[in-house]
Structures are given as structure tokens and as C-alpha cells.
């Protein structure tokens, strides 16, 4: 038998973790919007790490006993996120990603120009060294 206080904690954990899972999976899906194999691997790693973390919390609370109503409460938390919070949060995520991706693209552009200049200078130095011999 599980103590009532522990069972209430698990109920809250299941509901909140479903909501957090919906929020984080939406964010990860928006970040990894291109469909290449690396993004699929990153999404798979995210889901695996999240569920391992969730199970470790459940293991600390009740020894890892997983009942059907825990899964149903988790799904209820995800449903609440997608029905209530998704329309509110998705524009915020899109603005955040827009503001983050643009500076990152600019940094990589500048970095790639520096790399190309360094490679060009290395070729000139190498060519001078070969001419001098």
C-alpha cells in the first residue's frame, strides 16, 4: 500500500510532468524543424532522457511502481497543455527561436569568413614556402 501523501505527490508529479513534457517536446520539435538524421537522433535522446528522469523521480517516490492511472494522469497533463497552453505558448516559442537563430546564423557567418581567410592565408604561406625551396 502506498501512503496517501506519497500518492498525492505522484498524482501531481504525473500531471505536471505531462504538461512539462508537452512544453519541452514542442520546443524541441521547433528547434529541430529540419528533418535530417541528426535531428531525429536528438529528438530520440530528448525523449529517452526525459522519461529516464521521470522514472527516476517515480522510483524515489514509490520504488518505481507504475500504475495505469499514473500514465493516464501524464496523458491528461499533455492533453491540458495542448488544449489550453499550446495556442498561447507557440507564438512565444516562435519569437524566441527567431531572436536566437538570427544571431547564431550571423555568428556562424562571421566565423566561416574568418576560417576562409585563415585557409587562404595558409595556402599563400604554403605556396611561398614551396617557391622558396
State how far the Cα of 53 lies from the Cα of 58, in Å rounded to an integer.
Answer: 9
* Average pLDDT of the residues in 33-59: 87
17-29, pLDDT tens digit by residue? Answer: 999 999 888 888 8
- Reference 10, options 85, 49, 48, 67; nearest CA is 67
Residue 132: its pLDDT value, please? 58
| Whole-number Å distance between alpha carbons of 88 and 23 | 11
Residue 18, CA distances (Å) to 13, 45, 98 in order:
8, 18, 26
pTM attached to this predicted model: 0.67
Indicate whether 52 pLDDT > 80.
Answer: yes
Higher pLDDT, 115 or 59: 59
Domain membership of residue 74 as a residue range: 4-132
Q: How many domains does the chain have?
A: 1
pLDDT digits (tens, 9 = 90+) for 60-78: 888 888 888 888 999 999 9
| pLDDT band at 133; cut points 50, 70, 90 | low
Amino acid at each position: 500500500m502506498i501512503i496517501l501523501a506519497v500518492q498525492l505527490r505522484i498524482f501531481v508529479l504525473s500531471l505536471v510532468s505531462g504538461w512539462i513534457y508537452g512544453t519541452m517536446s514542442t520546443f524541441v520539435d521547433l528547434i529541430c524543424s529540419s528533418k535530417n538524421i541528426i535531428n531525429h537522433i536528438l529528438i530520440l535522446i530528448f525523449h529517452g532522457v526525459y522519461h529516464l528522469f521521470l522514472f527516476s523521480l517515480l522510483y524515489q517516490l514509490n520504488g518505481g511502481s507504475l500504475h495505469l492511472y499514473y500514465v493516464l494522469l501524464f496523458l491528461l497533463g499533455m492533453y491540458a497543455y495542448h488544449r489550453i497552453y499550446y495556442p498561447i505558448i507557440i507564438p512565444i516559442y516562435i519569437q524566441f527561436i527567431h531572436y536566437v537563430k538570427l544571431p547564431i546564423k550571423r555568428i556562424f557567418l562571421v566565423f566561416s569568413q574568418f576560417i576562409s581567410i585563415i585557409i587562404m592565408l595558409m595556402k599563400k604561406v604554403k605556396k611561398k614556402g614551396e617557391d622558396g625551396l
